[in-house]
Chain A
Amino acid sequence: MTVQPPVSHTMESTLESVNKAEVMAEQAAAQAGFDEDARGGISMAVREAMINAVMHGNGYSPDKHVSLSFDQAGGNLVITIRDEGPGLDPNAIPDPLAPENLMKQSGRGIFLMRAFMDDVQFHKLEPGTEIILIKRVPGH
C-alpha cells in the first residue's frame, strides 16, 4: 500500500467527467491497496456521487463545476465530491428498498454509495452539496 498525497480535480458537469471520475477512483483505490471487489464498490460509489453532482446538482450546466478529491487520512481513503447546485437533502430521498419504491426507475444512487462505503457524509455548501465517501484501508 502506498500513501498518496491529496489529489484534487475540478471537472465539468458532463457524463464524461462521471466516467473519468470512476476510473480515477479505481486507480486511487488500487494505490491504497484495496482488492478487486472493494475497488469495484468504491468506483461505483464515486460514479453515483458524481452523477448526483453533475446531473441533480449542477444540471449539466457548463457554468458549474464539480470538485473531486482523493486523500488518505487516518487509515481511510477519503473521497470528496462537491457540486454548485441548489443543495441535496439525503433524508428527503425515499428508501429504494421500501415496497412502494422498489419498482421506481430512480432513487438508488445514495443507497449504493452507502452499500459500498464505510461512511457517507452529506454537507450543505453555499451553494451546493459536498459528499464525503470514506472507506477504511485494508490493514488499518
Chain B
Amino acid sequence: MSMKASTRQVSGVTIVDLSGRITLGEGSVVLRDTIKDLLGKGNKKILLNLGDVSYIDSSGIGELVSAFTSVQRQGGELKLLNLTKKVHDLLQITKLYTVFDVKDDEAVAVGAFSS
C-alpha cells in the first residue's frame, strides 16, 4: 500500500494524516517532501497523525527523526498522534518514544502545542 499524506488545519496546527507504509523508497520520500513543503510555507506546528500507518521500517523511523529535527531547527514543533501498536513498539525499542511528544487524542494533541 503506497503512502498517502493529506493536510488540514485545526486551531493553527497543521495535521498531516498519513496512511500506508513509511518505508525505504516512496513512503519515506512522501513524508520528507510533505514536511519540506509545510516548512517552506511557514507551517511550524505540525502534528503527524499515524493512525493509518500500517508499517514503518528503519528508513521510515529515520524520516520521522529527520522531520523532528528539521521542524525543531526552524523553531517549530512536531508531535505524533495515534500510534499503532507496531509503530509504538518500534519507537519504544529504539528509545525514540520519549523523544517525540506522542498523543492518542487529537484535541489534546492540538492543545499541547505552544501558543
Contacts and interface: CB of A to CB of B under 8 A. Distances in A.
The interface residues of chain B, by DSSP majority, are classed as helix
B33 interface: no
A48 interface: yes
Contacts, number: 45
Given A15-B25, A96-B94, A105 B57 contact: no
B24 A105 contact: no
Interface string A80-104: 0000000000000000110000111
B24 A103 contact: no
A73 B68 CA distance: 43
In order of increasing CB-CB distance, the 5 nearest A-B pairs are A105-B62, A108-B58, A15-B25, A109-B58, A105-B66
Interface of B: 23-25, 57-59, 61-63, 65-66, 68-69, 86, 90, 93-96, 99
10 contacts: A51-B24, A51-B58, A55-B24, A96-B94, A103-B65, A105-B62, A106-B59, A108-B58, A109-B58, A112-B58
